[in-house]
Amino acid sequence: MLHASADPAPPRKLNICLLGYRSNPYSGGQGVYIKSLSSALTDIGHVVDVISGQPYPELDPRVNLIKLPGLNLFESDNHVTALRPRHLLSFTDFFEWFSMLTGGFAEPYTFGRRLVRYFKKHKPQYDIVHDNQSLSYGTLRLQRMGIPIVTTIHHPITSDLKIALQSAETWQHRLLIRRWHSFLRMQKKVVRQLEHLVTVSEASRATIADAFAIPEDSIHVVHNGIDTKVFKPNPAIEREATTIMTTTSADVPLKGLPYLLRAIATLADDMPNIKLNVLGKLRKDGGTLRLIEKLGISSRVNFFSGITVTEIADLYARATIAVVPSIYEGFGLPAGEAMACSVPVISTDGGALPEIVGTCGVIVPAGDHLAIADAIRSLLADESGRQALAAKARHRILRSFTWDKAARDLLRLYLQISGHRAGNALFVNEPLVNESLVDEPSIEEPSMEKPASPSQPGTNPEYVPANH
C-alpha cells in the first residue's frame, strides 16, 4: 500500500478511463461495476470517462460517456437482416454479424478493434485505462502502445462454460455452447500477457489463476462495493411473511435457480403461503418455465425485470429471507445487496459467496435443494435469529464492501501502475473506512506500433456526456 511522501506534490486529479464492451446496469454485474465505480472515483475527486459499446451504461452526470457503437445484435428483431450494405465495408462489423449468425459471441473482440481505432484517431491522454473484462486483443494492443492498462476479471468464463456443458442434454446443445464460448481462446492468450490484473474476491483469484495458468500473486484483489445509499433498510415497507427473494438469470445454469425452485416445491405442502420473488427475466421457451410448471408452483413464483434499483430495494424490503442459490459467484452482488438491506441471507458455498456473507448468513452446499429447503424452514421459524443476522449483515457491508473503499483501493493500484507518487493524487492517503473482512458479533492481431503524442481527453467530437 502506498503512503504519501514527506514532501508531497500538490494534489491533482487523475484522468481515468473505464472500458466496457457492454455496460447496461440492468444486464449483469459488469454494468453495475462500471456505473458504481465511475461514480465513486468521481466522488473522491478524479476525472472519469467511460468508453463503452452497446448497450450503453447509465452514468453519474459528472462522468463522460464515449460511445463506441457496434451492431448491438442482441437488440435486433432479426439477426440475419440486421446487416446493412455499409457493414460490408468494415471487417469489424461483418465479423461481429457473421459470428452471431454462426452461434459465436464476438463483442469483446470487435470492441477491442474499435477501441484501438478510437485511440489512434483521437489520442486521448489518461493516467490509467481500466478494462472491465473485455480481455480483447485491443486492450493488449493499447498496453503495447505504452498506455497504462489495468484489467478487472470478475471471474473466468471457463466456469460458465464448464457448468453449461454439464447441464446440456444433447451433443448439439454442447456444440452450440462451445461455439458461443469460442472467445475464450482469445481471452486465455490475452490474460497471460496483461501486466496488471485485478479481481473481486480471493475465490475468483484462485479460479482465475487455475483457469488461465498464471500465478495467483500476479492478481490483485479489490472487492466490489454495494450502493448502500440505495440498498438499505426501509422500515416504511412491511415484510411479507414467508416471502423469499432471489436475484438470478433464470436460464443460466451457473446461477442455480432450479435448486431454489425445487426447495420451494419441497416446502409448499407444509407452508401453503410460501412465495418466491425472482429478480430476473423468465424466458417463455426456457427450461425454467418448464420446471416451474412441472413442480406445480406457478402460483408461488413471480418474476420481475426492467425495474429500477429503488424498486429492487423495495422487493428486498418486502422479503423475509433472501436466497442466493448460485453454483458459482465471482463476488455475489445479490448477497451483498440483500445484506445491505438488512435481509437475512441463505447462500450456497459457491465461489466467493462465503467470503462475502461471512458469519452474517446461513451457508449451505451448492447444488443441494434439500439443504436450501431445510435452511429456509429453520430461518422462517427463528425470528430472533433472522433479526440478529440482518443487523450483522448490514454492518458487514458498511465495514467491508462499499464503493468508496473499492475506489480508494483501486486508486492505490492506479498510482503504482501509472508511476505517480501517492501525494500526487487527491485523498489517496486518507484512512479507509473498511480495512478488513473480519466479522463483527480466435483471430491474431498484427504487430503493435508506438502511439503518437497524446492530447487531452474530452476534446474530440465523439465525446458524449453521459446524460445525452
Cα–Cα distances in angstroms (integers) from residue 202 to residues 218, 324, 331, 352, in the given order: 12, 19, 9, 7
Q: What is the DSSP pairing of strand 275-279 with strand 301-304?
A: parallel
- pLDDT at residue 431, as a whole number: 37
Q: Each residue of 214-243: pLDDT tens digit?
A: 999 999 999 999 999 999 999 999 999 999
Q: What is the total residue count of the chain?
A: 468
- For residue 359, pLDDT beyond 70: yes
- pLDDT at residue 427, as a whole number: 44
2-9 mean pLDDT: 41
Cell readout for 403 is 464503493
- For residue 155, pLDDT beyond 90: no
- pLDDT at residue 157, as a whole number: 74
Which contacts of 173-182 are long-range, i.e. CB under 8 A and separated by 24 or more positions? 176/103, 179/102, 179/103, 179/104, 180/103, 180/104, 180/105, 181/105, 181/157, 182/104, 182/105, 182/442
* Superfamily name with CATH number, domain 15-225+403-465: Glycogen Phosphorylase B; (3.40.50.2000)
pTM equals 0.82
- pLDDT at residue 284, as a whole number: 84
Record: fold of 243-400: Rossmann fold (3.40.50)
Cα–Cα distances in angstroms (integers) from residue 145 to residues 31, 139, 301, 372, in the given order: 27, 10, 52, 51
Let me know if the fold of 15-225+403-465 is the same as that of 243-400: yes
26-55 mean pLDDT: 90
137-159 mean pLDDT: 91
| Sequence ranges of the domains in the chain | 15-225+403-465, 243-400
